[in-house]
Amino acid sequence: MSKMMEQLRSAILGRSPLVYIYSPEEERIMRGIRSLAEEQSQNVVTWSCVLGLEGAGPETNDPVEAIMTIIRQGLTGMIVCKDLAPFLHEPRVERALREAYYDGRTKPERTLFLLCAELNVPESLKKEVHVLEIPTPGEDEILALIHEVSTANPDYTIPEEALREVTLALRGLTENEIGYVLHRVCRLQDATKDQLLDEIFAEKKSIVKKSGFLEFSPPRWAIDGLGGLDNLKQWLIRRQHMFSHEALAAGVPIPKGLLMMGVSGCGKSLAVKTISSLWNIPMFRLEMNLVFSGMYGTPEEAFHRALTTIEAVAPAVLWIDEIENALGLDESGQKIASHIFSSFLTWMQEKPPLIFIAATANKIQALPAEVLRKGRFDEVFFCDLPAPQERDEILRIHLTRNGANLEEFDFKMLQIMTEGWNGAEIEQAVISARTEAFYENRAFNQRDLTNVIGRIVPLSDTMEQQIKAIRSWAFSRATPASKFGKSAARRV
């Protein structure tokens, strides 16, 4: 039996006179209620604000009249009010519902369902109303939908080897959304597993886009484009299959989140971007500037909405860049927006397991101990300036990306010349060398690069003290992202 049916049945058996169903899926819920009513030999009556109460006159389009008619006529069975949400805060409607509750206690054969797409129970009715939050279709329901769509489109079946991942990726979508995706997929003859997953991610992307402050980050960055940082890469690779069907079925603890802090330009944001392609789950970046902008209601409301939106598209990665600013902390860790900060911590504790949080931080001293304490994030990594071998790797990545012939470069010399450089500076030097050679209409070479390197002053020269402070803070609090870790001899 599906989770939805279990929830509906326990509400009926629990004899709650008023049941508030929180779900945007009217058709699916109605089907569930009808099948339960059949099983319990009860009848179903619906109310909507344009059709009124089924079997009663047009005067019952008015919600109070409808509820009072139910009471006066002593109606029994499962009565479903579809449009009550916008009226719920009117004093007359609240009163009528309270009357229905008292009356319903003497009529166990009647259940009044309030079917609402948002959770908006008036404070004064919270004690009387039994709230059911119905999750989107679970695995069994998704498999049944896939079967249904395949039967309707006999020319197309989802390949057996892709079925499990497709089922997992479809979680979080409503029944209708799953239907649209599957019908679109059926038109892609001979689609590969990756194409199927892309189609599903596109649907999730469009859902999230409606929220305004979550931005889809495409799975475009491969992990081999990240130079050095081997401890971090290994951590990510080891968890590559944790969001798979097998891991879930085996009950393997699912990673909760990762915090990356450290020196600017050393690949923190780039590392986050690689997660989505490595793990094959969509990633959404939370734009906290927009949450705080007031364009979407109060920051607290907007933040809450962002978290519920991301829950609706799980499994997913939620990327929070510069978490210290995002959570409303000032330079010294004082909480400017303390509601947001505390609701985020609570949410991290209780969030659905299929959401992975990837956070980055620059001003680590601004992060209070509550964020860092064990159990919040699975790991806190520190990204330092790259060690010589890592600079070598980063150079090779960016030279290759810019079409250079690696044979023409003296890497020993470049390693020495870039001592104390971060990845962003190395990338910038390669791009400048290429641009200059392009101006002279030739391929770029070692000399172009050494000329540029000679002119750039790395951040570590100007920010020596800050980098030392970050390092000493990180020493006892974070795991080095680089395999050369704390032992690497570095200039700064």
Ligand X SMILES: Nc1ncnc2c1ncn2[C@@H]1O[C@H](COP(=O)(O)OP(=O)(O)OP(=O)(O)O)[C@@H](O)[C@H]1O
Which residues of the chain form contacts with ligand X (CB under 6 A)?
A: 226-229, 264-270, 360, 362, 383, 394, 397, 423-424, 427
Compare residues 140 and 224 and give the one whose CB is closer to ligand X.
224
Identify what 46 binds: ligand X, Mg ion, none; CB under 5 to 8 Å per kind: none
Helices (H), 106-190: 139-152, 160-170, 175-187
> Which CB atom, from 248 or from 397, has the smaller least distance to ligand X?
397
Please state the closest distance from residue 273 (CB atom) to ligand X, in A: 8
Q: Cβ closer to ligand X: 171 or 391?
A: 391
In the complex, what is the shortest distance from the CB of residue 302 to ligand X, in angstroms, rounded to a whole number? Answer: 23
Nearer Cβ to Mg ion (196/261): 261
Instruction: Report in angstroms how near the CB of residue 310 gets to ligand X at its nearest.
Output: 21
Strand arrangement of the beta sheet that strand 379-383 belongs to? 214-217, 283-286, 316-320, 355-361, 257-262, 379-383, 479-480
Interaction partner, residue 227 (Mg ion, ligand X, none; CB < 5-8 Å by kind): ligand X
* Of residues 129 and 286, the one with the C-beta less far from Mg ion: 286
358 binds, among Mg ion, ligand X, none (CB under 5 to 8 A by kind): none
Side-chain-side CA neighbours of 138 within 13 Å: the count stands at 9
Q: Which residues sit opposite 53 in a β-bridge?
A: 47
Q: How far is the CB of 122 from Mg ion (least distance, A)?
A: 44
* CB closer to Mg ion out of 269 and 325: 269
Nearer to Mg ion, 267 or 299 (CB): 267
Find which of Mg ion, ligand X, none residue 265 binds, CB within 5 to 8 Å per kind.
Answer: ligand X
Least separation in angstroms between CB 335 and ligand X: 22
CB of 233 to ligand X, least distance (A): 10
**Nearest distance, CB of residue 264 and Mg ion, angstroms:** 7
Q: Which does 427 bind (CB under 5 to 8 A by kind): ligand X, Mg ion, none?
A: ligand X
Comparing CB distances to ligand X, the nearer of 63 and 219 is 219
Which residue number, 255 or 423, has a Cβ lying nearer to ligand X?
Answer: 423
Closest to ligand X by CB, 110 or 434: 434
Minimal distance in Å, beta carbon 276 to ligand X? Answer: 15
Give which of ligand X, Mg ion, none residue 76 binds (C-beta under 5 to 8 Å, depending on kind): none
State the minimum distance, in angstroms, from the CB of residue 421 to ligand X.
Answer: 10
Cis peptide before 315 (omega within 30 of 0): yes
Contact residues for Mg ion, defined by CB under 5 A: 268-269
Tell me which residue has its CB nearest to Mg ion.
Answer: 269
424: partner contacted, choices ligand X, Mg ion, none (Cβ within 5-8 A by kind): ligand X
Number of H helices, E strands in the chain: 22, 13
| 267 interacts with, out of Mg ion, ligand X, none, CB within 5 to 8 A per kind | ligand X
What's the min distance (Å) between Cβ of 487 and Mg ion?
A: 26
Select from Mg ion, ligand X, none the partner in contact with residue 266, using the beta carbon and a kind-dependent cut-off of 5 to 8 Å.
ligand X
Of Mg ion, ligand X, none, which one sits near residue 29, judging by CB under 5 to 8 A according to partner kind? none
**Minimum distance between the CB of residue 207 and ligand X, rounded to whole angstroms?**
27
**3-state helix/strand/coil string of the chain:** CCHHHHHHHHHHHCCCCEEEEECCCHHHHHHHHHHHHHHCCCCEEEEECCCEECCCCHHHHCHHHHHHHHHHHCCCEEEEECCCHHHCCCHHHHHHHHHHHHHHHCCCCEEEEEEECCCCCCHHHCCCCEEEECCCCCHHHHHHHHHHHHHHCCCCCCCHHHHHHHHHHHCCCCHHHHHHHHHHHHHCCCCCHHHHHHHHHHHHHHHHHCCCCEEEECCCCCHHHCCCCHHHHHHHHHCCCCCCHHHHHHCCCCCCEEEEEECCCCCHHHHHHHHHHHHCCCEEEECHHHHHCCECECHHHHHHHHHHHHHHCCCEEEEECCHHHHCCECCCCCECCHHHHHHHHHHHHHCCCCEEEEEEECCHHHCCHHHHCECCECEEEEECCCCHHHHHHHHHHHHHHCCCCHHHCCHHHHHHHCCCCCHHHHHHHHHHHHHHHHHCCCCCCHHHHHHHHHHCCCHHHHCHHHHHHHHHHHHCCCEECCCCHHHCCCCC
| Residue 428 or 450 with smaller CB distance to ligand X | 428
Beta-carbon contacts of residue 303 (< 8 Å; ≥ 6 apart): 291, 340, 343, 344
DSSP run (H or E) holding 46: strand 44-48
